[in-house]
Amino acid sequence: MAHGPKYKVPRRRRREGKTNYHVRYKMIRTKRIRVVVRKTNKYIIVQFVYPTPIGDYTLAAAHSRELVKYFGWKAGTKNTPAAYLTGLLAGLRAKKLGIEEAIPDIGLHRPTRGAKVFAAIKGVIDAGIKVPCSEEVIPSEDRIRGETIAKYAEMLAEQDPEKFRRQFSLLLRNGFDPRELPKHFEEVKNRILEVYNQVPEVPVVKEVMQEIASIASGGGA
């Protein structure tokens, strides 16, 4: 282990591989809302976060398990279509609050072309939020709609039925045929849009940000 008078122990979240403080510092300096995308082994999480000197405040958020709970999603909570729909859901919620733009924050996830985090950001953009993101890194429409998964499932079902049942066992146990994924994606997407078309806009985000800034500076004490 390194030692000496000039050696500094990295911060805990840097040691745990959770935060790049150099990148975070630059983002916070902008004082702009960040659209934070995180993925776990099971879920996709999208949050709209406002930074302050005393910590981050979440203004709007969505979790991929909400797709199952509220919109009847049956095709898994960690794949590319689920990431897009989670981003769309978070973006619609943010839009209703008056959020119009945000900067992307993918944390320590690698900015790989076609990654799930960029599918989520595409969902946010399609919800009407301005987010700077190159079209080159966003997954193709086929991947977002789940067509590649459906074609692969169809190929497996024809060539190796046993592997098909094994690889898609969780979906099949839930009574869902992965070959129907594109159709199911469109149904759930339309369901989300229909619900949020009926939700009235309450553009309070500027007032909320001012109140948060006041609290952070000690003015609300």
Answer left, alpha or beta for residue 55, where phi above 0 means left and psi between -120 and 50 means alpha.
left
91: its two tokens: 């973006």
Q: What would the two tokens of residue 45 be?
A: 């999480």
Distances (CA, A) of 176 to 116, 155, 180, 193: 22, 17, 8, 22
Q: What is the mean pLDDT of the chain?
A: 89
Q: Tokens in use for 207?
A: 């007032």
State if pTM tops 0.75.
Answer: yes
Residue 120 CA, chain-centre distance (Å), reads: 4
pLDDT of residue 7: 66
Q: Does residue 21 have a pLDDT over 70?
A: no
Position 30 pLDDT exceeds 80: no
φ, ψ of residue 210 to 5 degrees: the values are -65, -40
pLDDT tens digits along 170-202: 999 989 999 999 999 999 999 999 999 999 998
Domain limits of the chain? Answer: 17-202
CATH number belonging to the domain at 17-202, selected among 3.30.420.100, 3.40.50.300, 3.40.50.2000, 2.160.10.10 = 3.30.420.100
Cα separation, 77 vs 11, whole angstroms? 32
Counted residue by residue, the chain has a size of 221
